[in-house]
Amino acid sequence: MKKFLFITLSLFLPVLASAQQQGTSGDTTAMRQVNIGTIDVLPTAVKVKGMLLLNKDVQYELEGAVDNMYNFKFERAEKQFKSLRRRYPDHPLPYFLMGLSQWWKILPSNIKTLEYDKQFFAYMDTTIQKAEKLYDNNENNTEAAFFIAAANGFTARLHSERSNWRKATVHSKRAIEYMEIAKAGNGLSPEFLFGEALFNYYSIWIHENYKMLRPVLLFFPDGDKRLGLKQLRHVANNGFYTGTEAKYFLMKIYANEEGNLGESIKVSKSLADKYPDNAYFQRFYARLLFIQGHFTMAERVSQDILDKLEQKMPGYEAVSGRYATYILGYINQNKYRDLDKAKQYYLKSIMYAEMTDERESGYFINSYLNLARISDQLKDKPQAKRYYTIVQNSSDKKSAANKEARTWLKANKKVK
């Protein structure tokens, strides 16, 4: 049920994201470098003309800041977001960007860290308050509806992760309500299209994969999975604020829902190349390289992840370590035949899994499975038995790992 709520609530996130990728008309990243450290706080009382979301001068100013945020240079990014807040204190945009920055501090831990919750909720609440005031003054303000939907969607998503179901439901309902209103702005900018794209795709995906939940979907508008994917690609290629978030979802959809690893790795590579210090993008890219057999590149990316983890760079923690050490263990075991080094990496992967209390994860179980195989190969039967016993006790009884463990243990009953 929690997985369903997580997916459902994540549909309605017209999320402000990064500057456009290459090939789009508004991306001037390649032309210049923005030195965030030299930007002073500008005076207040600047009058907003039209939609700030579509203001090209603001987009030009913020492209370096959003890139810094997605590259986990949070302090630099937030300095400019705060500068924008000084100039537009009554607009929801700067508060939402500050909230989005907190979100990306939370995400690399698989949303388990609680360190940034208070700041995140505060910024999203302020975003909603500022946007509601704009909307109350003008019910045709699709920009205000956009921010109400976006902030409520993100708030609902984190509440669902924290098992605050009542709050998650309330904010989700509000997100859906204002997403429908914001759709009126779809022709103005790809930013407005993002929420509809996610809804179109996931509402059908849930219908196809969760039969028991189909009655719930009767309360939702009709979706269109193929259209949603097409819309998401459009936003990924043309959105200024929503471009990177659209790529994030495309990367995951292609890999996890569509089974299109070729397209997923293309999107993943573009994100990893543009944001080399983003721990989430790097480990997702490493995983895709690994499962597609690109071992040389997977090794390089995984080693880079461990180097940054050792340097205690933002976002590089136990989850990233678990990915990287398992990949390096497997490569050393099967490519280089360096069993001693492979064992050390598997043991580290197990350590990282225990640090995050993920003893049922594939990396944890398969690390023990490969340690058992190595021990058996080295004729250390007692050690192999200890490892296979852990595999048997930790894995699903119907899994291949469990079957292998049971078969080995049955054939080696006399081993002590």
Nearest to 345 by CA among 372, 359, 324: 324
Angle at 301 between CA 251 and CA 107, to 5 degrees: 50
In contact, 286 and 299? CB cutoff 8 Å? no
| CA–CA separation, 215 and 179 (whole Å) | 21
Nearest to 109 by CA among 291, 289, 300, 355: 355
Give buried/exposed letters for 43-56 (b at 16+ CB in 10 A, else e): eeeeeeeebbbbbe
pTM, whole model, 2 decimals?
0.85
The CATH classification number of 295-411 equals: 1.25.40.10
Nearest to 402 by CA among 348, 356, 376, 366: 366
For residue 221, what is the DSSP state? P
Give the chain's length.
416
| CA–CA separation, 156 and 191 (whole Å) | 20
Residue 256 has which token pair?
């996890």
| CA–CA separation, 95 and 158 (whole Å) | 17
Per-residue pLDDT at 178: 92
Per-residue pLDDT at 218: 47
Burial class (CB in 10 A: 0-12, 13-18, 19+), 25: exposed
Domain ranges of the chain: 2-271, 295-411
Residue 107 has which token pair?
């995400």
Render each residue's pLDDT in the chain as its tens digit; 416 residues.
344 444 443 433 333 222 222 233 333 222 222 232 322 333 333 333 479 999 999 999 999 999 999 999 999 999 999 999 999 999 999 999 999 999 999 999 999 999 999 999 999 999 999 999 999 999 999 999 999 999 998 998 899 889 888 898 888 889 888 988 998 887 788 998 888 888 888 776 554 555 544 454 445 556 778 999 999 999 999 999 989 999 999 999 999 999 999 999 999 999 999 999 999 999 999 999 999 999 999 999 999 999 999 999 999 999 999 999 999 999 999 999 999 999 999 999 999 999 999 998 999 999 999 999 999 999 999 999 999 999 999 999 999 999 999 999 999 999 98
Per-residue pLDDT at 204: 61
Per-residue pLDDT at 166: 87
Amino acid, res. 358: E
| CA–CA separation, 301 and 272 (whole Å) | 10
Q: Kindly write down the DSSP assignment for every residue of 38-74, as one continuous string.
A: GPPPPPS-PPP-S-GGG-HHHHHHHHHHHHHHHTT-H
Q: Kindly write down the DSSP assignment for every residue of 74-143, as one continuous string.
A: HHHHHHHHHHHHHH-TT-HHHHHHHHHHHHHHHGGGTT---TTHHHHHHHHHHHHHHHHHHHHH-TT-HH
Q: Where are the alpha helices (DSSP H) in 162-313?
A: 165-182, 190-209, 214-217, 225-238, 243-252, 261-274, 279-291, 295-310
For residue 343, the surrounding DSSP H or E stretch is helix 339-355
| CA–CA separation, 352 and 356 (whole Å) | 7
| CA–CA separation, 59 and 290 (whole Å) | 37
Per-residue pLDDT at 62: 96
* Helix, coil or strand: residue 210: coil
Angle at 269 between CA 69 and CA 351, to 5 degrees: 75
Longest C-alpha distance within the chain, in Å? 82
CA dist 37 to 60, 63, 304, Å?
17, 14, 27
